[in-house]
C-alpha cells in the first residue's frame, strides 16, 4: 500500500470519531469542541474574507526571517565551536546558561527592545531556532571521522581546506537535523509571540477567536500551523534523503 495512504489512515479514523462524538451523538457539546462541519464553515469564511491568507503569510514571514537569521549566525558559530577546542571551552558556560531558558521568557524583553510587531517576533523565533542549529552543527563537526582528517593532512591539505572539504560535508546531516528542529521550535515560538505581541498572524487569530468563543476559527488556525509544520518537515526530510544519496 502507498505510504501516503497509510499515513492517512489514523487522521481519517480520528475525523470519523470526531464527527460521531460531536455531530451525530452530541456526546461532546459544541462549546467544548466544534464539529468538523463547523470548522469547515469557519475555514471557508476565513479563506473568503482573506484573513486566513493574510495571517498565514504574516506568520510565514516571521518564521522564515527569524529562522534565516538564526541559521546564518548559528551555523558558522557551530562550525567554529566544533572545530576549535578553545572556542568550545569558551562557549560552554554561556551556552549552558542560555540554552535552557525558554524563548517565551524573553517576550517581555523583546517587546521592550523591539516594540510590538515584527521585530519582537523575529527575535523570539531567532532564540528558538538558534540553539538547536548551533548544537547540532557543533556536534556534527566534532563527530567527523578522524580517518578522513588524517588522510587530508597526509595529502597536504591546509586547515582551511580540511574545514571546507572534510568537516563541513561530514557535518551536513547534523546541520540539516538542526535546521529541521530549529524551524519547528521557531514556528511554535512565533505563535506564542503573536498571541502576546502582535496584531496579526495565526497566533493572533487563535487568541482573538478563543476570546470571542469562536473555537471553530481557532481550530482552523491551529490546523494551518500544523500543515505549515508538516510542509517544513517534508522539505527537510527530502534534503536529508538527497544528502544520504
Average pLDDT, the chain: 85
Domain of 97, in residue numbers: 39-244
Regarding whether 15 and 135 lie in a shared domain, the answer is no
6 and 72 housed in the same domain: no
Residue-wise pLDDT for 66-117, tens only, equals 999 999 999 999 998 988 888 888 888 988 899 999 888 888 888 888 877 7
**How distant, in Å, are the alpha carbons of 146, 158, 242 from that of 188?**
38, 42, 27
Same domain, 5 and 87: no
What percent of the chain clears pLDDT 90, i.e. is strictly above it?
A: 29
In terms of domains, do 16 and 47 share one? no
159: pLDDT strictly greater than 60: yes
Neighbours of 174 (CB within 10 A): 22
Total of domains in the chain: 2
**Which residue would you say has higher pLDDT here, 137 or 32?**
137
Residue 50 backbone zone (phi > 0: left; psi -120 to 50: alpha; other: beta): left
Q: At what angle do helices 51-83 and 168-197 cross, to 10 degrees?
A: 140
CA distance 114 to 28: 43
Q: Say if residue 95 is in the same domain as residue 14.
A: no
Tens digit of each residue's pLDDT (9 = 90 or more) over 23-50: 777 787 777 888 888 899 999 999 999 8
Residues 24 and 139 in one domain: no
- Residue 194's pLDDT band, with cuts at 50, 70 and 90, is confident
Q: Averaging pLDDT over each range in 176-180, 194-198, 240-244, which range is the top one?
A: 176-180
Are 131 and 213 members of one domain?
yes
- What value does the CA radius of gyration of the chain take, rounded to a whole number of Å? 22
Model pLDDT, residue 28 = 78
Using pLDDT thresholds of 50, 70 and 90, give the confidence band for residue 197: low
Round to whole Å and give the CA distance between 106 and 40.
36
| pTM recorded for the entire structure | 0.84
DSSP annotation string for 97-141: HHTTS-GGGGHHHHHHHH-TTHHHHHHHHHHHHHHHHHHHHHHHH
Tell me the mean pLDDT in the region 165-169: 78
Residue 178 and residue 91 share a domain? yes
Does 245 have pLDDT greater than 60? no
Amino acid at each position: 500500500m502507498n505510504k501516503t495512504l497509510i499515513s492517512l489512515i489514523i487522521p481519517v479514523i480520528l475525523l470519523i470519531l470526531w464527527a460521531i462524538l460531536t455531530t451525530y451523538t452530541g456526546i461532546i457539546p459544541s462549546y467544548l469542541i466544534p464539529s468538523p462541519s463547523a470548522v469547515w464553515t469557519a475555514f471557508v469564511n476565513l479563506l473568503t474574507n482573506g484573513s486566513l491568507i493574510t495571517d498565514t503569510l504574516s506568520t510565514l514571514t516571521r518564521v522564515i526571517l527569524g529562522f534565516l537569521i538564526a541559521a546564518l549566525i548559528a551555523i558558522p558559530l557551530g562550525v567554529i565551536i566544533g572545530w576549535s577546542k578553545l572556542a568550545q571551552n569558551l562557549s560552554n558556560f554561556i551556552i549552558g546558561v542560555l540554552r535552557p531558558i525558554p524563548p517565551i521568557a524573553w517576550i517581555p524583553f523583546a517587546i521592550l527592545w523591539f516594540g510590538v510587531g515584527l521585530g519582537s517576533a523575529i527575535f523570539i523565533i531567532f532564540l528558538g531556532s538558534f540553539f538547536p542549529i548551533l548544537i547540532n552543527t557543533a556536534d556534527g563537526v566534532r563527530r567527523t571521522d578522524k580517518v578522513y582528517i588524517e588522510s587530508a593532512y597526509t595529502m597536504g591539505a591546509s586547515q582551511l581546506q580540511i574545514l571546507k572539504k572534510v568537516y563541513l560535508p561530514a557535518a551536513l546531516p547534523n546541520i540539516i537535523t538542526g535546521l529541521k528542529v530549529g524551524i519547528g521550535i521557531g514556528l511554535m515560538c512565533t505563535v506564542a509571540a503573536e498571541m502576546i505581541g502582535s496584531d496579526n498572524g495565526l497566533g493572533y487569530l487563535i487568541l482573538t477567536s478563543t476570546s470571542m468563543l469562536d473555537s471553530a476559527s481557532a481550530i482552523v488556525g491551529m490546523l494551518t500551523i500544523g500543515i505549515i509544520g508538516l510542509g517544513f518537515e517534508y522539505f527537510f526530510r527530502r534534503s536529508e534523503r538527497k544528502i544520504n544519496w
